[in-house]
Amino acid sequence: MTRGSLTGAAFAVTAALLFGSAIPSSKVLLGDLNVFLLTGLLYGGSVIGLVIAGPILRHLQVITATPLRRGEWRWLAGSVVAGGLAAPLLLLLGLDWTPASTAGLLMNFEAPLTAVFAALVFGEHVGRRVIFGIAAITVGAALISWQGSADTNGWLGPLVVVGSAVAWALDNNIVRRIAHTDPVRLATIRAGVATVLYLAIAFATGHSLPALPVLAQCMVLGLFGYGLALTLFFLSLRYIGAARAAAFFAAGPFVGAMGGIAALGEPLTLAFVAAAACMLLGIWLVLSAGTAHS
């Protein structure tokens, strides 16, 4: 790999670890908070952190960017809808009905779907390995969804989680079109729209802000698990493209899955192990496809 590729991979893996760690933590917070309220608070924490960090990162020249051109604002709007509004809400809804370990594994659909969208819609090369990778991940998803759990609302929860992976896969490719611009500004705009919309819905339906300790947890989790993770992922797109960035980002779902088992006491079943093995195989196939035209 070139130096640029290594840099992009490092950004993507770091983003994955931050986002994956947020999955079990979000599951815990859903026990006390409405899903719209939690989504708004997580993105509110993201906005606060990014507003503070943005000028510092620009001053240190950690991030450099060119302004969006007139025709590129439509890509930003698409990113706000797919990645800022639809994907996080679907993930938290799915988490409300699904164990964190199951949801973590199901998020592995994001990598192959990103590659599929990159090929079918945006013209990036995708070969047979990606197809086989999708098949392996689908088998793993079937295994983890079929095992059942007292916390799983049939297939509805898993399907909603997969829906969030679809939305983020589409968003990965959209953001690739505008990856040259300031990633902190992109992340802040998306998070700001989501914060305003979802907090408005939560307050309109009778919910109020939680106690200060819970509010602080949401802010910190939003800053690192969403704001910083998203910024690093945007940076990785500059160096390695949507398909490969998503493949490296696939470390995140496994972190979330293991966090659900270790921190929340969710069971480690044979079906879970088999599903994880299938998904690891699928991710390897997608990642290897980035360097092999097959």
The string of pLDDT tens digits covering residues 53-68 is 778 767 766 666 677 7
**C-beta neighbour count of 258 within 10 angstroms:** 19
Query: What is d(CA 148, CA 144) in angstroms, rounded to the nearest whole number?
Result: 8
* pLDDT for residue 159: 87
Q: 74: which 2 tokens?
A: 């439509």
Q: What is the pLDDT of residues 117-132, one digit of tens each?
A: 877 776 666 567 766 7
pLDDT average, residue stretch 91-95: 89
Domain ranges of the chain: 3-289
Q: What is the CA radius of gyration of the chain?
A: 18
In sequence order, what are the residues at sequence separation of 6 or more whose Cβ sits closer than 8 angstroms to the Cβ of residue 48? 219, 223
State the pLDDT confidence band at 166, using cuts at 50, 70 and 90: very high
Q: Is the dihedral of CA 5, 10, 11, 15 positive or negative?
A: positive
Q: What is the pLDDT of residues 267-277, one digit of tens each?
A: 777 777 887 78
Query: What is d(CA 73, CA 95) in angstroms, rounded to the nearest whole number?
Result: 32
More confident residue, 119 or 204: 204
List the one residue out of 40, 247, 75, 95 whose CA is nearest residue 171.
Answer: 75
pTM for this predicted structure:
0.74
Query: What is d(CA 141, CA 208) in angstroms, rounded to the nearest whole number?
Result: 36
Share of the chain above pLDDT 70, in %: 78
